[in-house]
Amino acid sequence: MDTHAFPHLSDYLGGLAPEAGGGPAPSHWYKRLGDGAAAGREIYSGAHKELRRQIDTAFRDLVRTEEVKAWYGEPENGSLFQGTSVSALTVPCELPGPLRLDSMGDLEEAIADHYIDLHDRHKGSVEGAILENIDKWISEGLYFGVVLGAKVVSQAFGLTADAGDVVFPVLGEKVDPHEITSYAPHIREKYFEACRKKIACFKGIADLTRAEFESSLVLADISKPHIEDYTGKILLAPIRCNEICSMISRNVTRLIREKSQGRISPRSLSVTIYDTDTPYTYHQVMGYFGKPMAPMLPGLTVLGTSGTMDAFRWLYAYRVSLVAQKIMKSSLYSEVARKFVPFVYFGVLVERDAEILLDLDRLGDLRYRGNLSPYLEFCYLVPKIVDHLAATSARDLNDELKDCLR
Q: What's the pLDDT at 5? A: 47
Is pLDDT of 3 > 50? no
Q: What's the pLDDT at 228? A: 60
Q: Which of 351, 355, 346 is nearest to 81 (CA)?
A: 346
**CA–CA gap between residue 312 and residue 245 (Å, rounded):** 13
What tens digit of pLDDT does each residue of 352-375 get? 888 899 999 999 999 999 999 999
Is pLDDT of 269 > 70? yes
What are the backbone angles phi and psi of residue 130, rounded to the nearest 5°? -125, 135
Q: Which residues pair with 346 in a beta bridge?
A: 90, 145
Q: Enumerate the domain spans of the chain.
A: 3-399
Is pLDDT of 165 > 90? no
pTM value is 0.91
Instruction: Report the mean per-residue pLDDT for the chain.
Output: 87
Q: What's the pLDDT at 120? A: 95
**CA–CA gap between residue 321 and residue 293 (Å, rounded):** 22
Residue type, 295: P
pLDDT greater at residue 100 or residue 63: 63
Structural Rg of the chain based on CA atoms: 22
> What is the CB-side half-sphere exposure of residue 261 using CA atoms within 13 A?
0
Q: How many helices (H) and strands (E) does the chain have?
A: 14, 9
Report the 10 Å Cβ neighbour count for 79: 9
Give CA separation, 238 vs 57, 60, 89, 93, in Å: 32, 28, 27, 21
Q: Work out whether strand 233-235 and strand 160-162 pair parallel, antiparallel, or are unpaired.
A: antiparallel
What tens digit of pLDDT does each residue of 185-218 get? 899 888 888 887 888 788 778 788 889 988 998 8
**CA–CA gap between residue 280 and residue 285 (Å, rounded):** 9
**CA–CA gap between residue 283 and residue 304 (Å, rounded):** 14
Q: What's the pLDDT at 208? A: 85
Q: Angle of helix 374-390 relative to helix 49-71, nearest 10 degrees?
A: 110
Instruction: Reduce the DSSP state of residue 133 to 3 states and report it.
Output: coil
Cβ pair 237, 216 in contact under 8 A: yes
Work out whether the CA dihedral 146, 147, 150, 151 comes out positive or negative: negative
Q: Calculate mean pLDDT across residues 154-165.
A: 85
pLDDT greater at residue 221 or residue 386: 386
Cβ pair 150, 324 in contact under 8 A: no
